[in-house]
Amino acid sequence: MSDLPDLREVVRFVFELGQLRREARHGWLRIHEDPESVAEHTQHAALWLLDRLLGAPSFPVLS
Q: Which structural domain range is residue 41 located in?
A: 7-53
Q: Which residues contact 56 (CB under 8 A, 6 or more apart)?
A: none
Residue 47 lies in a domain: yes
Number of domains forming the structure of the chain: 1
Q: How far apart are CA 54 and CA 63, in angstroms?
A: 26
Please list the pLDDT of the chain residue by residue as tens digits (63 residues): 567 778 898 899 888 888 888 888 877 677 777 788 888 888 888 888 888 888 877 666 655
Among 42, 43, 36, CA closest to 22: 36
